[in-house]
């Protein structure tokens, strides 16, 4: 009986308290990094700005939602098509023809790279290697 | 096999639940899977982990455990194994470091085989260690990479990590090595359980379930990036809302995103009650964290019952007179 009581009392005690608490505090602080790093302030969600030319055109080559999620894959397909098959013509679902060219076609309307492309790219922390070759304000010959 | 199939079924049901909910039930379901469940899961994870570790810290270690591999420090002319059986705190740190970062004891895993003769041989069995270290390292990389969705501005270390991870530059968006290594390693760990008869025999539901869950997490993540495209800006907006306590549900992120988040939430909530607690447990392992100094320091069992002792000195003190009378030898006159 008295042995049991003794045991119960001992169970409440924490061994190596200093080390364990230090470890647990470290765990909590590291795990909570995104919480204290942002200090509770959400950065505003970027709104890409359309140029007058883009506004006037009303529609891109595909619907907006699809362009938002798939533009990078379209550009990749275009690159393969142009560089490997010498096919420069893209026909969209409403039978409109487009020149498969980032510099001459896309960036013609969206000539404001910083306000259009970079805004979301920076927010999502992506650095596309398109810009390694294709420059800001292009007009390729 | 039934344990394996049961775990798989549970994971599939979880996926269907989140997908159908987010795609059909609209805002209410998205609020549930995107905000309410993640917050609840995070709370369960943190409190659960702290609770488990404190519980372990309250458990007394009855014995110092010197029976680890390697010679303990003894006489000056016997060479001690300083890493396997360290006597100092520094040595214990060294052993712990190798254990946590390189899985040293798993590396020593051997396979016993009986060949003709009969001859017994112990062969190095490296694949479990290889898959384990690939799994843990890639999972950590994937986790760290996700900070790009939880921080603004994104720290340059995280951007650098993603650059290294995507160094193959295959496709757009480029494939990230860690995701595929994670999927391959966790698949190996699952197949090992299913195919190897001995491992299969000792495998339980709670062994299969986290494997299927992590396969689900990795697969949904890869699918989201490369096949069923989601709105990344929306995903980051939701994630940032969570960590800044201004939760929002942006429209049209896509059902698969909620499947991914739900899987992660289930993993977090399940964590403290599962074998995954080895994350904290490895630091609490007596054979890893106790110095092998039993020859130098006496370890007293903390729950020893206070035994009433009567030492020889006390005995002689009590009976000295009578002992001298009877002609018995005494230590003190």
- Nearest CB to A129: which of B158, B169, B240? B169
Q: Is B229 in Cβ contact with A124 (below 8 Å)?
A: no
Q: Note whether A120 and A69 are same-domain residues.
A: yes
Q: Note whether A8 and A70 are same-domain residues.
A: no
Q: Note whether A15 and A73 are same-domain residues.
A: no
Q: What value does the mean pLDDT of chain A take?
A: 83
A59 assigned to some structural domain: yes
Q: Note whether A68 and A114 are same-domain residues.
A: yes
- Tell me if chain B has a CB within 8 Å of the CB of A52: no
What does the pLDDT read at residue A56?
Answer: 86
What does the pLDDT read at residue B69?
Answer: 80
B277 assigned to some structural domain: yes
- Tell me if chain A has a CB within 8 Å of the CB of B165: no
Per-residue pLDDT band for A58 (boundaries 50, 70, 90) equals: confident
Q: Note whether A71 and A122 are same-domain residues.
A: yes
**Closest chain B residue by Cα to residue A35:** B243
B22 assigned to some structural domain: yes
CA distance A132 to chain B (A): 13
Q: Is B158 in Cβ contact with A124 (below 8 Å)?
A: no
Contact by Cβ (8 Å): B215, B263: no
A79 assigned to some structural domain: yes
Which residues are registered as beta bridge partners of A89? Answer: A99
The boundaries of the domain holding residue B65 are 2-302
ipTM of the predicted structure?
0.84
Contact by Cβ (8 Å): B274, B206: yes
Number of structural domains in chain B: 1
Vertex A10 angle, CA A9 and A13, to 5°: 105
Q: Note whether A17 and A58 are same-domain residues.
A: no
A16 assigned to some structural domain: yes
- Tell me if chain A has a CB within 8 Å of the CB of B158: yes
A125 assigned to some structural domain: yes
Number of structural domains in chain A: 2
- Tell me if chain B has a CB within 8 Å of the CB of A9: no
What does the pLDDT read at residue A4?
Answer: 45
A44 assigned to some structural domain: no
Could you list the mean pLDDT of each consecutive 10-residue stretch along chain B, which spans 333 residues? 90 90 84 94 96 92 78 91 88 93 91 87 90 96 95 92 92 91 96 93 94 96 92 93 91 89 96 95 90 85 83 91 92 81
B327 assigned to some structural domain: no
- Tell me if chain A has a CB within 8 Å of the CB of B57: yes
CA distance B225 to chain A (A): 10
Which chain A residues are within 8 Å of B163, Cβ to Cβ?
Answer: 127
Q: Note whether A96 and A123 are same-domain residues.
A: yes
A45 assigned to some structural domain: no
B319 assigned to some structural domain: no
What does the pLDDT read at residue A37?
Answer: 92
- Tell me if chain B has a CB within 8 Å of the CB of A120: yes
Q: Where are the alpha helices (DSSP H) in chain A?
A: 2-11, 17-31, 33-37, 52-57, 64-85, 107-109, 113-123
Q: Note whether A67 and A117 are same-domain residues.
A: yes
- Tell me if chain A has a CB within 8 Å of the CB of B154: yes
* pLDDT over threshold 50, residue A36: yes
Which chain A residues are within 8 Å of B282, Cβ to Cβ?
Answer: none
Question: What is the CATH number for B243?
Answer: 1.20.950.20
**Closest chain B residue by Cα to residue A29:** B46
- Tell me if chain B has a CB within 8 Å of the CB of A63: no
Closest CA to A135 of A100, A111, A116, A109: A111
Q: Note whether A56 and A32 are same-domain residues.
A: no
- Please state, in angstroms and rounded to a whole number, the distance separating the CA atoms of residues B277 and B283: 11
Q: Is B173 in Cβ contact with A10 (below 8 Å)?
A: no
Residue A107 burial (CB count, 10 A): 22
What does the pLDDT read at residue A96?
Answer: 87
The boundaries of the domain holding residue A62 are 52-132
Q: Is A45 in Cβ contact with B244 (below 8 Å)?
A: no
- Tell me if chain B has a CB within 8 Å of the CB of A23: yes
| Mean pLDDT value of segment A118-135 | 86
Q: Note whether A60 and A125 are same-domain residues.
A: yes
Q: Which of residues 298-317 of B touch A (CB under 8 A)?
A: 302-303, 305-306
B325 assigned to some structural domain: no
B309 assigned to some structural domain: no
Q: Note whether A117 and A64 are same-domain residues.
A: yes
Q: Note whether A59 and A107 are same-domain residues.
A: yes
Q: What is the pLDDT of residues A63-122, one digit of tens each?
A: 888 898 899 999 999 999 999 999 999 998 888 888 898 888 888 888 888 888 888 999
Per-residue pLDDT band for A43 (boundaries 50, 70, 90) equals: confident
Pairing between β-strand B110-115 and β-strand A89-91 as defined by DSSP bridges: unpaired
A46 assigned to some structural domain: no
Residues in chain A: 141
**Interface test mutation site (partner A, options B172, B253, B303, max chain A beta carbons within 10 A):** B172
């Amino acid at each position: 009986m008295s042995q049991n009581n003794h045991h119960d009392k001992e169970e409440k005690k924490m061994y190596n308290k200093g080390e364990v608490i230090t470890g647990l505090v470290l765990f909590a602080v590291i795990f909570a990094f995104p919480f204290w790093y942002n200090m509770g302030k959400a950065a505003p969600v970027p709104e890409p700005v359309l140029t007058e030319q883009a506004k006037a055109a009303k529609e891109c080559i595909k619907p907006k939602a699809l362009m938002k999620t798939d533009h990078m894959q379209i550009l990749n397909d275009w690159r393969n098509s142009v560089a490997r098959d010498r096919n420069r013509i893209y026909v969209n679902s409403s039978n409109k023809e487009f020149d498969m060219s980032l510099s001459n076609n896309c960036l013609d309307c969206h000539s404001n790279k910083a306000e259009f492309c970079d805004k979301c790219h920076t927010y999502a922390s992506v650095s596309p290697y398109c810009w390694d070759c294709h420059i800001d304000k292009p007009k390729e010959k | 096999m039934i344990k394996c199939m049961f775990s798989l079924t549970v994971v599939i049901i979880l996926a269907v639940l989140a997908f159908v909910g987010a795609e059909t039930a609209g805002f209410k379901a998205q609020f549930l899977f995107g905000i309410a469940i993640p917050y609840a899961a995070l709370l369960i994870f943190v409190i659960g982990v702290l609770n488990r570790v404190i519980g372990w810290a309250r458990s007394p270690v009855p014995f110092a455990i010197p029976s680890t591999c390697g010679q303990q420090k003894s006489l000056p002319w016997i060479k001690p194994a300083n890493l396997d059986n360290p006597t100092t705190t520094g040595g214990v740190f060294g052993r712990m470091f190798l254990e946590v970062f390189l899985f040293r004891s798993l590396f020593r895993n051997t396979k016993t085989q009986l060949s003709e003769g009969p001859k017994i041989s112990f062969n190095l069995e490296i694949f479990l260690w290889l898959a384990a270290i690939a799994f843990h390292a890639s999972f950590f990389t994937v986790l760290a990479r996700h900070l790009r969705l939880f921080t603004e501005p994104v720290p340059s270390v995280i951007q650098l990590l993603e650059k290294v991870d995507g160094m193959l530059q295959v496709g757009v968006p480029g494939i990230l090595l860690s995701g595929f290594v994670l999927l391959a390693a966790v698949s190996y760990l699952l197949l090992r359980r299913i195919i190897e008869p001995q491992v299969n025999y000792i495998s339980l539901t709670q062994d299969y379930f986290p494997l299927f869950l992590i396969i689900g997490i990795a697969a949904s993540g890869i699918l989201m990036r490369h096949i069923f495209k989601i709105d990344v800006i929306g995903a980051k907006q939701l994630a940032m809302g969570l960590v800044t306590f201004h939760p929002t549900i942006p429209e049209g992120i896509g059902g698969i995103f909620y499947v991914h988040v739900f899987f992660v939430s289930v993993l977090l909530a399940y964590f403290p009650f599962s074998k995954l607690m080895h994350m904290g447990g490895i630091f609490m392992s007596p054979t890893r964290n106790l110095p092998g100094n039993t020859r130098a320091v006496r370890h007293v069992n903390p729950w020893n019952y206070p035994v009433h002792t009567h030492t020889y000195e006390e005995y002689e003190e009590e009976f000295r007179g009578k002992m001298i009378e009877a002609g018995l030898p005494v230590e003190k006159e």
